[in-house]
Structure 1
Amino acid sequence: MSTTLITGASGGIGAVYARRFAARGHDLVLVARNTDKLEALAAELRAAHAVSVEVITADLAEPADLALVEHRLRLGAPVDTLVNNAGAALVGPFQGSAPDRMDHLLRLNVAAPTRLASAALEGMVARGHGAIVNIGSVVSLMPASFPGIYAATKAYILTFSQGLAAEAGPKGVYVQAVLPAATRTEIWAKAGVDLAQIPNVMEAGDLVDAALVGFDRREAVTIPPLADIGLWEAFEGARATLPSGLGGAPAERYRLPASA
Structure 2
Amino acid sequence: MTTNPQRATALVTGASSGIGAVYADRLARRGHPLVLVARDAERLNALAARLRAETGVSAEVLVADLTRPDALDRVAARLAEPDVGLLVNNAGMALSDTLAESTPEQVARLLALNVGAPTRLAAVAARAFALRGGGEIVNIGSVLALATERFEPAYAATKAFVLTLSQGLAATEAARGIYVQAVLPGATRTEIWARSGKDIDAFPPEMVMEVDDMVDAALAGFDARETVTIPALPDAGQWQAYEAARLAMGPNLSLRDPAARYRAAAAA
Please indicate the TM-score interval, normalised by the length of the shorter structure: over 0.9
**Aligned CA distance change for structure 1 residues 258 and 50 (closer, same or farther; 3 Å):** closer
**Aligned CA distance change for structure 1 residues 252 and 23 (closer, same or farther; 3 Å):** same
SS at match of 2:66: coil
Tell whether the 8 Å contact from 2:185 to 2:231 is kept in structure 1 after alignment.
Answer: yes
Alignment partner, residue 233 of structure 1: 240
Matched, 1:65 2:71: yes
Residues of 1 paired with 2:182 and 2:265: CA distance? 45
What is the CA-CA distance between 1:256 and the residue it aligns to? Answer: 4.2
**Aligned CA distance change for structure 1 residues 259 and 241 (closer, same or farther; 3 Å):** closer
Alignment partner, residue 189 of structure 2: 184
Identity %: 56
Aligned Cα RMSD in Å? 1.3
What is the CA-CA distance between 1:170 and the residue it aligns to? Answer: 1.5
Residues of 1 paired with 2:228 and 2:267: CA distance? 49
Q: What residue ranges of structure 2 are gaps of 5+ in the alignment?
A: 1-6
Alignment partner, residue 48 of structure 2: 42
Deviations 1:131-179 (A, max 9, x none): 0000000011111111330000000000000000000011110000000
Counterpart mapping for 1:12-31 below 5 A = 12-31=18-37
Match 1:207 to one of 209, 214, 221: 214
What is the CA-CA distance between 1:243 and the residue it aligns to? Answer: 1.2
What is the CA-CA distance between 1:93 and the residue it aligns to? Answer: 3.1
Match 1:249 to one of 254, 257, 263: 257
Alignment partner, residue 102 of structure 1: 107
SS at match of 1:80: strand
**Aligned CA distance change for structure 1 residues 250 and 206 (closer, same or farther; 3 Å):** same
Residues of 2 paired with 1:93 and 1:193: CA distance? 12
Count of residue correspondences: 259
Alignment partner, residue 169 of structure 2: 164
**Aligned amino acid, residue 14 of structure 2:** G
Displaced runs of 4 or more, over 4 A: 256-260
Residues of 2 paired with 1:229 and 1:148: CA distance? 26
What is the CA-CA distance between 1:77 and the residue it aligns to? Answer: 3.6
**Aligned CA distance change for structure 1 residues 58 and 257 (closer, same or farther; 3 Å):** closer
Matched, 1:222 2:225: no
**Aligned CA distance change for structure 1 residues 182 and 248 (closer, same or farther; 3 Å):** same
Residues of 2 paired with 1:16 and 1:142: CA distance? 26
What is the CA-CA distance between 1:92 and the residue it aligns to? Answer: 3.9
Residues of 2 paired with 1:235 and 1:180: CA distance? 17
What is the CA-CA distance between 1:5 and the residue it aligns to? Answer: 0.3
TM-score, normalised to structure 1, is: 0.96
SS at match of 1:248: coil
